[in-house]
Amino acid sequence: MGIQDFIQKEFLKKTTNKFNDIFIGGLERKGFYFKNFQEAAGFVEENCICKDNLQTQERIYYVNEIPFLIWSYKPSDFEFTNDIDNISITANFGTYSYL
């Protein structure tokens, strides 16, 4: 695995963790609180759905049929910047809003 592959993998891992935080934050705004990630994951499997509108590139997340989060997404490529002392990665995955 090259350095760019490693950086991309770590970036995706951090992005996934950030999305999980945003998602759980949306549930908390609706009054659902969890002791840990496993409890939240079980709750999500039983009570949440996502509706994806491909035309508008928006996903709306529902808990018990109540919308709580919208993600306006854009397909994005990763952009790598590599100078002598630093390698960085940039991507735009859209915006999130609590409902």
Q: Would you list the domain boundaries of the chain? A: 3-98
| Single-letter residue type at 95 | T
Average pLDDT over residues 37-55: 96
Q: Which of 72, 76, 70, 73 is nearest to 89 (CA)?
A: 76
For residue 54, give Cα distances in angstroms to 58, 60, 78, 96.
7, 11, 21, 16
pLDDT confidence of residue 88:
74
Kindly tell me if the per-residue pLDDT of 79 is higher than 80. no
pLDDT confidence of residue 53:
95
- Taking residue 13's Cβ as centre, other Cβ atoms within 10 Å add up to 10
pLDDT confidence of residue 2:
74
The secondary structure of 39-67, three-state, reads: HHHHHHHHHEEEEEECCCCEEEEEECCEE
